[in-house]
Amino acid sequence: MNKAPQDIIIKPVITEKSSFDTASGKYTFKVAKTATKTDIRKAVEQLFDVKVISVNTVNYDGKKKRQRYVEGVTPSFKKAVVTIDMEAKEVSYLGKGGKVAKSDKKFKTAIEEFGIGQ
């Protein structure tokens, strides 16, 4: 990851559909056009301290717009839908000597900074 996480995640996309998806752990962000899925995953994990399960991206082209005699194009952008882990249960694993060790997950199960109450 060459850029800082703040340069990769530009802003959250808050629409009616994205508000409903937050209940199932899916958060939508507008991201840098050059960002890869791996970059987006690392940036979200660093910024919001959550465990990312999957990242889906969509590239949008600009639309042709016209105001009177002047034609122009709206800017193109990239959108990412990030699915986070919502289950806050203990993880158990085998340690030294075959003993079962438990560890709590050290990440959050929601992004409160997103601006939508759950």
- At 8-32, the pLDDT tens digits run 999 999 999 998 999 899 999 999 9
Q: Match 């889906």 to its residue by tokens.
A: 56
How many H helices and E strands in the chain? 3, 8
What pTM, to 2 d.p., does this model score?
Answer: 0.78
Tell me whether residue 86 is in a domain: yes
Tell me whether residue 53 is in a domain: yes
Q: Please report the pLDDT score of residue 116 as a whole number.
A: 60
| 87: CATH | 3.30.70.330
| CA pair distance 14, 92, nearest whole angstrom | 37
Question: What is the domain extent for residue 27?
Answer: 5-108
Tell me whether residue 94 is in a domain: yes
Tell me whether residue 113 is in a domain: no
Tell me whether residue 116 is in a domain: no
- At 61-116, the pLDDT tens digits run 999 999 999 999 999 999 999 999 887 666 666 777 777 777 666 667 778 776 66
Count of structural domains, the chain: 1
Task: Count the alpha carbons within 13 Å of 103 in the hemisphere toward its beta carbon.
Answer: 7
Mean pLDDT score, 31-41 = 96
The distance of Cα 16 from the centroid of its chain, to the nearest Å, equals: 17
